[in-house]
Structure 1
Amino acid sequence: MSRSAARITAIGSYVPEKRLTNLDLEQLVETNDEWILQRTGIRERRIAGEHEFTSDISVSAVQDLAERYGKSFDDVDLIIACTMTPDFKTPSVAAMVQAKLNIPNAGAIDLNAACAGFSYGLQMANGLITSGLHKKILVIGAETFSKILDYGDRSTCILFGDGGGAVLVEHDADNPSFVESHMGTNGALANNLYCTDLAGEMFGEDLAARNVVWQNGREVYKWAVNTVPKGVNALMEKAGVAPSDVDWFVPHSANLRIIESICTRSGLSLDKTVYSLEYYGNTSAGSIPLSLAEGVKDGRIKAGDQLLLYGFGGGLTHAGMLVKWSI
């Protein structure tokens, strides 16, 4: 990565009020609290209200950011909303955020890289600001996965929840946040994690099952625990850092067993890993910003810490970056 000129200057988050616990799921599908906790590390997840959508979660996360850091958005020139559960095909979630927050002069785009979305969004923001095309960008990672779940499918409904976070990325050539990045994709494995839409026939699915997420958990697990450690090690090698130089590892909160395996295979410490899955579940593009926000709020993540972020999921795609935290 060429020298960055972009810095993360603020962070906020939001989760819906409604909780769906493992005990609640016992009433919906054949499962139990012990089984879920042992295999995933998840105790509960948040569920959006009937009339609460990804744009609402995004706006609330940005408002939390503004309240915590006293930030104004009048000069934000781009909004990147990372999500695979947009309110509509069009308008974009980002356009709805622009409207709801009355941001006067901002472009607006949605980015769909599934669970790697927020990492991709940060890389895009860094590139656009470092190149001089933009000065101040809102990057949002948010999902309402509950709206595309089949609550009769215990292999998926136990995993996912709703929520998200947002960061403000601004031009700052003297104190940049972004150190190095790495990304990759294996689209040949895409049939192991997808949500059908216009091309429902492509993977041999019943068209009546459109807009419901489906995954082959075993195959996604195998891909993640083999691919992500290689990506993490490639990222550290490019940056010239060792696992001991990483203050906090912030992976996508997919499943605690996956995170444990990634840590073991990459040499990173689970004790120095920040994740949000225990009480929020897998929030896809929302998981890394939620984890970051929780780590900042409880005092674990501090200015000067070196963070390794790594997202992975549908595509199957993955993206990571080394970040110097400065707020």
Structure 2
Amino acid sequence: MTKRAVVRGVGHYLPERIVPNSWFEDKVDTSDEWIRSRSGIERRHFAAEGETTSQMAIAAARAALDDAGMEAGQIDAVIVATSTPDLTFPSVATMVQEGLGLRRGFGFDVQAVCAGFVFALTTANALILSGQAERVVVIGAETFSRILDMTDRATCVLFGDGAGALVLEAAEGTGTPEDRGILASDLNSDGRHRDMLYVDGGVSTTGTAGVVKMQGNPLFRQAVEKLAATADAALARAGLGHDDVDWIVPHQANLRIIQGTAKKLGVSMDHVVVTVQDHGNTSAASIPLALSIGKARGQIKQGDLIVTEAIGGGLAWGAVVLRW
């Protein structure tokens, strides 16, 4: 028998405030048509004043625990993927522990920007396979609205806030690709491309949070190539191919990137979960948000083979293959 990390529950949280594309028209030289045609985004959610990344992460974790039919006390570890923590330290994960009433186990944050959830999911899988934890809550949560330059039309229209979470539990499998749970992953990074997407502030440089800076066209070209390659690598490690895929659940950054990656993989858009039109780019939160909404829509069902892939600042990119 082979140990697997199986998804038991999924949930998400979105702030109440919905910001349509038209909101930006009196702030920068843009329009609803311009934003839709270049990104596919129609609206996004912004956190309310005083609403924090940890609060959203706690809400998403509670929704995932409810979906799993579990109590918080059953959880051994909390991993939060975020680039927008409440504080420099302590970690958001420890705040989630407190918010859930956990008095045992451990928590820590993972920072790989938009690829953060893929890195966190792979880390949680390793903890379960090693026996360090039996049940792990993996969360992606971001308040990117707090680090946007609202005079830069290339970036301010693209991002939104939100959180998504999965509950993973150790289970026995057969060691074949037919098992439920995480079957394979592929992680990568290349610091030579860090100037394509970064924030121009930090503790040891400016002492400020800074704002998002992006080189859109070069990043687009890198994204499609690298996302298809990492998905292929993860599928190969799982002993599977494109024809085995039921759903691609990609990082929701840009509809053109999603379409380009699907085409390169030879997968119809009918088999891609798309939420970018409603949420914009929520960075590390986008994949768990899309998984939660895909399940709620009735798209994702038990036994489906899913490929998640993401790329973010660093550059960092990766993919996970799992059977729901």
Per the TM superposition, whether the score is higher than 0.5 is: yes
Q: What's 1:204 paired with?
A: none
Greater CA drift, 64-73 or 135-144: 64-73
Cα deviation 1:201-244 (Å, max 9, x = unaligned): xxxxxx59752111111111111112111222222222232212
**1:146 Cα offset (Å):** 0.2
Q: Does 1:29 align with 2:22?
A: no
Do 1:75 and 1:105's aligned partners in 2 also have CA atoms closer than 8 Å? no
CA distance in 2, matches of 1:47, 1:145: 8
Q: 1:68-217 to 2 correspondence within 5 Å?
A: 68-174=67-173, 176-195=180-199, 196-200=201-205, 207=206, 210-217=209-216
For residue 87 of structure 2, give the secondary structure of its aligned residue in structure 1: coil
- Identity percentage over the alignment? 39
Do 2:68 and 2:167's aligned partners in 1 also have CA atoms closer than 8 Å? no
TM-score normalised to the size of structure 2? 0.94
For residue 84 of structure 1, give the secondary structure of its aligned residue in structure 2: coil
Structure 2 unaligned runs (5+)?
A: 174-178
> Letter of the aligned partner of 1:24 in structure 2?
W
| Aligned positions, number | 318
CA distance in 2, matches of 1:188, 1:210: 22
Cα deviation 1:238-295 (Å, max 9, x = unaligned): 2232212100001100100111111111212211101221100000000000000001
> Letter of the aligned partner of 1:61 in structure 2?
A
Cα deviation 1:162-207 (Å, max 9, x = unaligned): 001111111112364011111111110011111121354xxxxxx5
Do 2:253 and 2:281's aligned partners in 1 also have CA atoms closer than 8 Å? yes
> Letter of the aligned partner of 2:80 in structure 1?
A
For residue 312 of structure 1, give the secondary structure of its aligned residue in structure 2: strand
> Letter of the aligned partner of 1:59 in structure 2?
I
Q: What's 2:176 paired with?
A: none
CA distance in 1, matches of 2:137, 2:249: 20
Q: What's 1:257 paired with?
A: 256
